[in-house]
Amino acid sequence: MELCIFITIDMSTITNKWLAGVMLFAFFSIQTAASQNPEQNTLTLTDVWKKADVYNRQLQMQYLRVQGMEARTKAAKDERLPEVKANGVYARVSNLAIYEDGLFNAPTQYPVVHGYYQFGADAYLNVYNGGKTTREIKVRETEAELAKEQQNLTGTEIRYKAAALYFDVYRGRMYEKVMLQDIAEREKELTEIRQLHKNGVVLKSDLLRAELKLSKQKMTLLEIRNGIAIANQRLNIMIGQADSVENHLAIDTLLLPQAPARTYEDYLADAYEHSFAFKISEKETALSELKLKDVKSNVLPKVGLYAEYAYTYPQILFYPYSIALYGLGQVGVKAGVPISALYQNKHKKQEAKINLERQEIEHADTKDHVREDVKAAYLRYTEALTRIGVANENITQAKENYRIVNNTYFNQLSLLTDLLDAETQLLQSRFDLTTAAVTAQLQYYQLLKATGNL
């Protein structure tokens, strides 16, 4: 019963120390006013995730990185198209100096045509280069897929961080509600102690201790509210809102956590299929394999078709020369064998093999980490569910203990220290219940994150 109250009622906007009935009325009044204030915003966790997907800067960088990788893939495919170049030359040519009597004697100057120019175009189409172009395209496609998986991983991490901040705000609001209730009870209690002291029933020390306890509670309330403000600002930054926006959480935010619907083995199999970290490791291993194949192809021949045509003035390439514009073109096949690669490629291939082996070991290590994360998340989640039941029992026991000690103290059968201890235990048990509920929810999202389903 206590857990339902903690989860479904939000009194985070209450600022005065009223009794429970007045506090409840003020809560609904403030909620109505908040809906009309543009600086206040009611959010569900789904709303937070949607905003984070759009406005979070880390995700925006990942989106641009994916787009850049897709553009690189298209650029690699463009390499299959023929290369076409246009070129031109203009020069002023000096007279031809012939050193008939040696370099240290004056030469004989023979006049030539001083103006020289050439313009034309050439094209080259790769027919075969050891499969490098095809592999380059595959590499770029794999890199694009890797960037997409990294984007998904970042998105999952951002969602989990957003959920943690969201529940930080929620937990703070619940702590605030509990503390306001406790302060109201302590003020009522202090009034009774003052009356007893006035009547000479209790000592001055009891009154001072009660006042000190109330002062500490008010300081704790200030710390709680500052924590809410800090978590609220961090949440606003993550989802792209102004710092001044005060986020009011939906009343049905926290559902009661349920026991795991599947076994650990089921979650583990799901993780091997959907875990983004595991997929990233697979893509990196595939890239290492492509790198090795590319290095091996360095010794293969290269074949291509080429064509060129150019206009030149004057014609001094062939004899007899002609002081006139001429055009000349040619088409054919170019082929080459990188002979030096037969001995230069040995250590490059060895390096690529070592990198592939290292990547395969790293992939196996990633698989181990995935298994560890799923196991830890699964056990911590079931542990958190158990903690909720324990916290509920503790509240029941703390309430009964406080009732007994409260009655005995005001009947002068126990000390004030006993009463203060009972009050502290009751307050802590209420805090523990809220913490247990929030922890269970976060552990559930941690399990989804480990399996790649968040």
pLDDT at 354: 94
| Residue 283 and residue 225 share a domain | no
Phi, psi dihedral angles at 272 (to 5 degrees): -65, -25
* pTM for this entry: 0.76
Tokens of 200: 């000479």
Task: Give the span between the Cα atoms of 156 and 163, in whole angstroms.
Answer: 11
**CA 112 to CA 114: how far, in whole Å?**
6
Spatial contact of 441 and 381, defined as CB atoms under 8 Å apart:
no
Q: Do both 429 and 414 map to the same domain?
A: yes
Q: Is the pLDDT of residue 33 over 90?
A: no
Q: How far apart are CA 184 and CA 20, in angstroms?
A: 8
Q: Are residues 378 and 452 in the same domain?
A: yes
In the numeric block, the tokens 């007045």 are attached to 22
Q: Which domain holds residue 14?
A: 1-82+133-253
pLDDT at 195 over 60: yes
Burial annotation 70-91 (CB, 10 A radius, 16+ → b, else e)? bebbeebeeeeeeeeeeeeeee
Mind listing the pLDDT tens digit for each residue in 310-335? 998 888 777 677 788 888 889 999 89
pLDDT average, residue stretch 122-137: 90
The number of residues in the chain equals 454
Residues 57 and 39 in one domain: yes
* Residue 68, domain CATH: 1.20.1600.10
CA dist., res. 201 & res. 192, Å (int)? 11
Question: Looking at the structure, do residues 172 and 274 belong to the same domain, yes or no?
Answer: no
Q: Residue 273 pLDDT more than 80? A: yes
Same domain membership, residue 381 and residue 410: yes
Same domain flag for 152 and 295 = no
HSE at residue 372, side-chain half, CA atoms within 13 A, is: 7
| Residue 367 exposed, middle or buried by CB count within 10 Å (0-12, 13-18, 19+) | middle
In this prediction, residue 246 has a pLDDT band, given cuts at 50, 70 and 90, of confident
Same domain, 150 and 269: no
Assess if residue 48 is contained within a domain.
Answer: yes
Residue 354 shares a structural domain with residue 429: yes
Q: What is the mean pLDDT of residues 121-150?
A: 91
Q: Are 187 and 16 in contact (CB under 8 A)?
A: no
What band does 165 get if pLDDT is binned at 50, 70 and 90? very high
Residue 10: band (very low, low, confident or very high) from pLDDT cuts 50, 70, 90: very low
Please indicate, yes or no, whether residues 183 and 272 belong to a single structural domain of this protein: no
Whether 357 and 416 share a structural domain = yes
Same domain (yes/no): 144, 2: yes
**What's the number of domains the chain is made of?**
2
Percent of the chain surpassing pLDDT 90: 38
Mean pLDDT value across the chain: 84
In a domain, 402, yes or no: yes
